[in-house]
Amino acid sequence: MSVAKLSLDEGLTALLRGDPQLTQDPYLFYRRLRDEAPVHRLGSLVFVSAHAEAKAAYLDTERFVNTPPEAVLSEEALSLLSDTEKQMYDELLEFERGYMSRIDGATHARVRSAVRPAFTARHMAGLEGRARQLTDELLDELSRQECPDMIELAYQLPLLVVTSMLGAPPEDADLLKRWGNRMFAPRQREGVSVQPEVIQRAKRAMMEYRAYVHELIANRRSQPRNELGAALRAAIESERLTQDELVATYLLILHAGHETTTNLIGNGLLALLEHRDQWTLLCSNPSLAPGAVEEAFRYDAPVQVALRTAAVDVTLNEIDIGVGTPLCVLIGSANRDPKAFSNPDDLDINRHPNAHLSLGRGVHFCLGAPLARLQGRIVFSTLARRFPGTELAMAPNELPRTTDVSMRALMSLPVKLRA
């Protein structure tokens, strides 16, 4: 059945199940959802697809709070786990409750304030030279290949930059990423079967990662640097952070700071190379890269869904939402709302203003936004300057993508690098 013939409930169900028919390009369906039901209920979930309502859900922290991680595996999935493995799963969820993105109020403010010094404009300026060097080195290596995959650049650059911020040696980057992937794995397909060995690997990864961070902090105390690690060490020493909050914050910054930027660069490069007029404009004036980054965030958002929970009974766009109801804020849809953006399906690197919601709003505005913007700007401007003749080596609709509704991620982006 074509997407146009699906009912709204069928379309949303297909999205949640990761149906490639919907996840490959969800924007046509999002348009129908905004037009017909900008706030829509499907079972116990409420989906928010319009810009105004999505922005309201971000800003109204009294009525809409962060969704805490719960034991959301199905009964079938839980039945596959032994009592020991169920305890492991509970421990993983408890660890996740320490993520800055999962907490609200005074606790959130305390944890965020401990991390904020590492993301100042001065610190970002200090990282720029290293990020430019890494970008040039990665492009030098890729340019030797006949058909290089730009996802390699999009993957390696953020991983090396954020690892450096954490104060870890570059040779440990892949190890840290592997631990992070294993710890997040049990929540990749919530509500469906998860094999016991996935839980076991996640628990082992959590223990190894925790030990690594504690050792890293201890070893670096005698070598203070202007980095995230220094800010977090100071927070531990002043007792503004607990040890578990420290480890959770390290992991969140590693995983979110890497994966989101990888998707920003991959999706943004694809959009620019598809829209040759915009790519030509950027190549003629690489100083337009900051606008290209903001438009990449809007046009094909790296994170497509944000979760909130109704803290009180509330009515949104004539839909009654009871306390405890989960809200799925469809960022990708809100960013294409014609009520907020003119010609929303067009890529325009000169778009101004650009009130996209890809970095959130209010107290939970993405703390790592300056870092993601810095890396996106460097990659787009460097590629435009060094290889203005770059072309896609595969049709856009043939490029492999993940089928996760919450993350918009290319698995490969082969190109022909040309000066």
Containing 45, the helix (H) or strand (E) segment is: strand 45-48
Dump pLDDT digits (tens) for 34-74.
999 999 999 989 999 999 999 999 999 999 998 655 544 55
Helix (H, G, I), strand (E, B) or coil at 238: coil
How far is residue 338's CA from residue 297's CA, in Å, rounded to a whole number?
16
Q: How confident is the model at residue 77 (pLDDT cuts 50, 70, 90)?
A: low
pLDDT digits (tens, 9 = 90+) for 362-385: 999 999 999 999 999 999 999 999
Closest CA to 413 of 142, 139, 151: 151
In the predicted model, what is the mean pLDDT of residues 131-146? 97
How many independent structural domains does the chain possess?
A: 1
- The domain that contains 408 carries what CATH number? 1.10.630.10
Q: Which domain holds residue 225?
A: 3-416
Confidence of residue 226 (pLDDT cuts 50, 70, 90): very low
- Angle, alpha carbons 352-154-203 (nearest 5°): 115
- What predicted TM-score, i.e. pTM, was given to this entire model? 0.91
Summarised one tens digit per residue, pLDDT across range 295-336 is 999 999 999 999 899 999 999 999 999 998 989 999 999 999
Pairing status of strand 305-310 against strand 64-66: antiparallel
CB distance 204 to 198 below 8 Å: no
